[in-house]
Copies of this chain bind each other. A is one copy, B any other.
Amino acid sequence: MRVTIRQVAAAAGVSTATVSRVLAGTQAVSPELAERVRQTAASLGYRPNVLAQGLARGRSGVVGVLVPNLANPYFNDTIKALMHSAERDGYRVIVADSDERRENELPLGESLLRWSDGLVLVASRAAPTALRRLVGAHKPVVAVNHKPKPEIDEFVHISVNAYTPMRELCRHLVREGHRRIVYLSGPRTSWQSQERWRAVRSARRWGASVSSVPCGGTIEEGYAAAEGALGEEPSAVMAFNDLAAFGFLSRCGELGLRVPEDLSLTGFDDIPFAQFTSPPLTTVRSPLADVGVAAWQAMRRLLDGERRVLGMMLPSEMVIRSSTAPPRSMLGGSEPDKTTPTT
């Protein structure tokens, strides 16, 4: 059996209470005693039993994180930042993966809450009733990139502002001459996808015709959605995220379509490999790590008992690379915007 606090107390000739106080630093102990306790604890290699600590303290020192899909690089940076932030504060993270199935979220969330002091829901697609039950556990819940629900205001929202940069990106495309834009939509229940589509629709006011094609957020779905989207004969395609854009790009290559010569393409997130595709992807840079850090800070405050913890809307910005360019009609044709002609 492992060495317990009792053995340390015995070896140091003090009570278990003193050992506990010294090691947790919760109360003042005379320097000599403290030193002696620390010495013997170290020499015995004593490690407090976290389960017993948790039981006695009423909190486990663990937080749960629920993501739709661990295999999506998009979530990795966020989780990583969250995890490291939590680690620095002495917390451990347990994670679960709902496999993009909203019906998994409630049971998994409840399971996580049994182990943890709080729950971080990333890009949750859970129904309001499910969320209500999760919140009902009376433990802090932080929602990342989740649609704000006025009717359940008991959790803190950390979100990325997708609308503004996405709209800016549309504006950019329109300025370059694109008039026919297709949006490859993400998971149906994804709030972020709705926001991005809302932004794309706004391009109508600049005179573009836009439509939405069901797709998803994976490489495979982007690949599969390509032909349908091309049927709409767009000059620019805006994918829900970089993964879908990448799958789409791959299919374009097979079909002999060149990007950006024949077609402009944009993604979203700016995951690490977005700048390494051929051509490098025009996209929107999501502050992935910042989101993780912000989520932890909010969680930390909630765990510390703060009443009003405010949510955040983090900014993101357009990143123009080489997968977008003026459409062919602009290049050949009647030479509309004469950028070069000096005469």
Residues of A78-111 at the interface with B, using a CB-CB cut-off of 8 Å, are 79-80, 83-84, 87, 92-97, 111
In the bound complex, do residue B272 and residue A219 qualify as a contact, i.e. CB atoms below 8 Å apart? yes
Question: In the complex the two chains form, what is the Cα distance from A87 to B253 in whole Å?
Answer: 40
Is A114 within 8 A of B47, CB to CB? yes
Copies in the complex: 2
Contact B92 A272 (CB under 8 A): no
Q: How distant is the Cα of A52 from the Cα of B114 in the complex, in angstroms?
A: 11
What total of chain A residues lie within 8 Å of the partner, measured CB to CB?
A: 43
Instruction: Give the residues in chain B near A71, CB-CB below 8 Å.
Output: 73, 76-77, 80, 272
16 contacts between A and B (CB under 8 A): A49-B55, A49-B114, A51-B54, A51-B55, A51-B60, A52-B55, A70-B76, A70-B79, A71-B73, A76-B76, A80-B97, A83-B97, A93-B94, A223-B276, A250-B277, A250-B278
Given A51-B54, A55-B55: A84 and B111 interface contact (C-beta under 8 Å) = no
- Near B by CB (< 8 A), chain A positions 221-260 give 223, 246-247, 249-250, 253
For residues 17 through 70 of chain A, which have their beta carbon under 8 Å from a beta carbon of chain B? Answer: 47, 49-52, 54-55, 60, 62, 70
Query: Which of B47, B87, B115 has a CB less than 8 Å from the CB of A50?
Result: B115
Asked if A273 is at the interface (CB within 8 A of a chain B CB), the reply is: yes
Residues of chain B lying within 8 A (CB to CB) of residue A219: 272-273, 276
Q: Would B92 and A92 count as touching, CB distance under 8 A? A: no
Q: For the complex, give the distance between the alpha carbons of A77 and B115 in Å.
A: 24
Which residue in chain B gives the minimum CB-CB distance to A273?
Answer: B219
CB distance from A221 to the nearest CB of B (A): 12
Query: Across the interface, do A247 and B223 meet the contact criterion of CB distance under 8 Å?
Result: no
Q: Is the CB of A70 within 8 A of B62?
A: no
In the assembly, what is the distance between CA of A50 and CA of B114, in Å? 7
Known: A50-B114, A71-B77. 15 other contacts (CB 8 A): A49-B55, A49-B114, A51-B54, A52-B55, A62-B115, A70-B79, A73-B73, A83-B97, A92-B96, A95-B95, A219-B273, A219-B276, A250-B276, A250-B278, A253-B278
Q: Considering the complex, give the chain B residue whose CB is closest to the CB of A45.
A: B136
Asked whether, in the complex, the Cβ of A94 is within 8 Å of the Cβ of B97, the reply is: no
User: Which residue on B lies nearest to A222, using beta carbons?
Assistant: B276
Complex Cα spacing A232 to B299, Å: 52
Cβ distance A129 to chain B, nearest Cβ, rounded Å = 15
